[in-house]
Amino acid sequence: MKTMSIKPAMIAPAAGGAKGGAPSGAAGSFGETLKAAVREVNDLQNRADEAVERLQLQNQGSIHEAIIALEKADITFRTMLQVRNKVLDAYQEIMRMTV
């Protein structure tokens, strides 16, 4: 079972970087973290599909393994969806602010 954990190298430092702006590389690290999370969700969904295929077509594995793989994929997808919703809400809130 492979789970994605946040490593200190994935988090951009709060101070430092470019003067008067975001830390240098902050956008890149967020983008890379996002890509890694989407890749993780995709991999789990592919593994779940393979587990179901092995069970149905090849009569290998167990139904328990297939259901666990499906649930892992479902939970990670739902989590990614909630994170996306929170990011969109934050963006919309920022866009409503007056300068």
Q: Total structural domains in the chain?
A: 1
Assigned domain for 73 exists: yes
> pLDDT class for 18, splitting at 50, 70, 90?
very low
Token look-up 């490593």 returns 7
C-alpha 13: how far from its chain's center? 21
10 inside domain: no
Nearest to 74 by CA among 56, 48, 38: 48
Does residue 90 belong to any structural domain of this protein?
yes
Give the position of tokens 């993780």: 40
In this prediction, residues 13-33 reach a mean pLDDT of 58
Write out the H or E segment, with its range, that includes residue 36: helix 26-57
pLDDT in tens, 24-49: 555 568 889 889 999 999 999 999 99
d(CA 93, CA 71): 33
Residue 82 has pLDDT above 80, yes or no: yes
In a domain, 29, yes or no: yes
3 in any annotated domain: no
Return d(Cα 92, Cα 22) in angstroms, integer.
Answer: 20
Range of the domain at 85: 23-96
Its pTM stands at: 0.63
Q: Assess contact for 47 and 83: CB atoms under 8 A.
A: no
